[in-house]
């Protein structure tokens, strides 16, 4: 009797187990053979739902029909996002892929691995602005005005400057071969071993045979205000009668750093800029603390490479009559971006506001005009002449 009951219970338990396993196995198999349909809108917000299916249709046709394989899926994603933000028509709302974002972040921290030369695109040609003193580029003999025609096997022409920089940079200790055009000479090749480049944000010195101090800011990076305070203390110990602050070719950086830097030359609680958002609301950003260099006679050097944070400082110093501006009109980037770091370390920079000078003067697409215009030509750079700096010295010495 007991054996019969046990046998029955075992059969029932076995049947339940088989049914359970069959159900579980069937459910798992059904998920493989009939996978759950992904939402055609990719989980998009309600207001996007009429548009998102078209995107997926285009994506599927590319995957299905494009003749080159394999397709670079990362490039497709990056291109899709870049195209979206470009359609907004704002040059400063931009998608920055992870590699470029890393370069920007590294630059603003003050060091990177590469050859140590400042470059820019001039008429589609990668041109050396200046090698950084003591770096591999300087030791290899690169000169201002040199044109880099080729990096290793890649021809450099009409290329985005960041892409060119990415080709030149690389791990410390590795070589890179450049084909260089210098003036009317025949092109030549030079192989440079990359190193760790420490770029000081600040350069300071007393100008020879004068009592005038010179202070240059290369970028509005994280440590720039502290470096400038240290430099100003050292310069003031030499009792200068005037100060030249050089923001030429300074592309900008952090907004908060711009406010701190302006605060070194202005009195406490003075407006540095007025920020206006898309609703038209205004916010004033003011100087913190007492400016340690708010009284010394001063000239500010600017040019077409002075942008963004540089223009904030230039406009404020001009509005208050704190400095005489010498050079040429600045770049004209008067907008503020929110920087969002995405999951793959790429960045989405979205313009959230425009900024104006303390007196409400527009900067975006306008720039800041000098009080005294002095041009610097390519011939001046090659010949190592600096008429803008010479004019600044003259002004501080004569007042004219």
| Domain range summary for the chain, segments of one domain joined by + | 46-87, 111-198, 202-398
Query: Topology of 111-198 in CATH?
Result: Pdz3 Domain (2.30.42)
Question: Residue 238, exposed/middle/buried by CB under 10 A (0-12, 13-18, 19+)?
Answer: exposed
Averages of pLDDT over each 10 residues, the chain, 400 residues:
36 33 31 39 68 86 90 88 88 83 73 84 85 88 91 89 86 95 92 88 94 94 92 97 94 91 95 92 89 96 92 97 97 88 89 94 94 92 91 95
> Is 333 labeled as catalytic in the residue annotation?
yes
> Is 286 labeled as catalytic in the residue annotation?
no
Among 308, 310, 335, 357, which one carries the catalytic annotation? Answer: 308
> Is 99 labeled as catalytic in the residue annotation?
no
Residue 389, pLDDT score: 97
Placement of tokens 């310069």 in the chain: 235
Residue 106, pLDDT score: 72
Among 250, 333, 335, 346, which one carries the catalytic annotation? Answer: 333
CATH number of the domain at 202-398, please? Answer: 3.90.226.10
Among 107, 246, 319, 335, which one carries the catalytic annotation? Answer: 319
């Amino acid at each position: 009797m007991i054996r019969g009951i046990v046998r029955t219970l075992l059969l029932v338990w076995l049947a339940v187990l088989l049914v359970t396993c069959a159900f579980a196995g069937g459910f798992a198999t059904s998920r493989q053979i009939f996978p759950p349909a992904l939402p055609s809108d990719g989980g998009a917000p309600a207001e996007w739902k009429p548009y998102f299916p078209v995107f997926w249709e285009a994506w599927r046709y590319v995957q299905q029909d494009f003749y080159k394989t394999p397709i670079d899926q990362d490039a497709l994603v990056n291109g899709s996002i870049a195209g979206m933000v470009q359609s907004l028509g704002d040059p400063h709302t931009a998608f920055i892929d992870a590699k470029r974002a890393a370069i920007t972040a590294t630059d603003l921290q003050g060091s990177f691995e590469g050859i140590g030369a400042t470059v820019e695109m001039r008429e589609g040609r990668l041109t050396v602005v200046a090698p950084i003193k003591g770096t591999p580029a300087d030791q290899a003999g690169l000169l201002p005005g040199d044109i880099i025609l080729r990096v290793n096997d890649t021809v450099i022409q009409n290329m985005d400057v960041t892409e060119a920089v990415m080709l030149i940079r690389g791990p410390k200790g590795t070589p890179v071969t450049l084909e260089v055009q210098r003036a009317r000479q025949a092109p030549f090749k030079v192989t440079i071993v990359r190193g760790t480049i420490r770029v000081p944000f600040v350069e300071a010195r007393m100008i020879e045979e004068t009592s005038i101090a010179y202070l240059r800011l290369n970028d509005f990076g994280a440590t720039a205000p502290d470096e400038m305070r240290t430099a100003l203390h050292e310069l003031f110990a030499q009792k200068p009668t005037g100060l030249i602050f050089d923001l030429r070719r300074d592309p900008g950086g952090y907004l908060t750093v711009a406010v701190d830097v302006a605060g070194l030359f202005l009195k406490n609680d003075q407006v540095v800029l007025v920020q206006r958002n898309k609703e038209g609301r205004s916010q004033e950003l003011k100087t913190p603390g007492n400016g340690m260099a708010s009284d010394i006679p001063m000239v500010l050097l600017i040019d077409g490479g002075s942008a963004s944070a540089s223009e904030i400082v230039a406009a404020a110093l001009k509005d208050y009559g704190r400095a005489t501006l010498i050079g040429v009109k600045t770049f004209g980037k008067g907008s503020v971006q929110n920087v969002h770091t995405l999951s793959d370390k790429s960045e989405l920079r979205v313009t959230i506001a425009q900024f104006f000078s303390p007196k409400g003067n527009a900067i975006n697409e306008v720039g800041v005009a000098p009080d005294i215009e002095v041009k610097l030509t390519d011939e001046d750079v090659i010949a190592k002449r600096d008429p803008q700096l010479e004019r600044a010295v003259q002004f501080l010495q004569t007042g004219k």
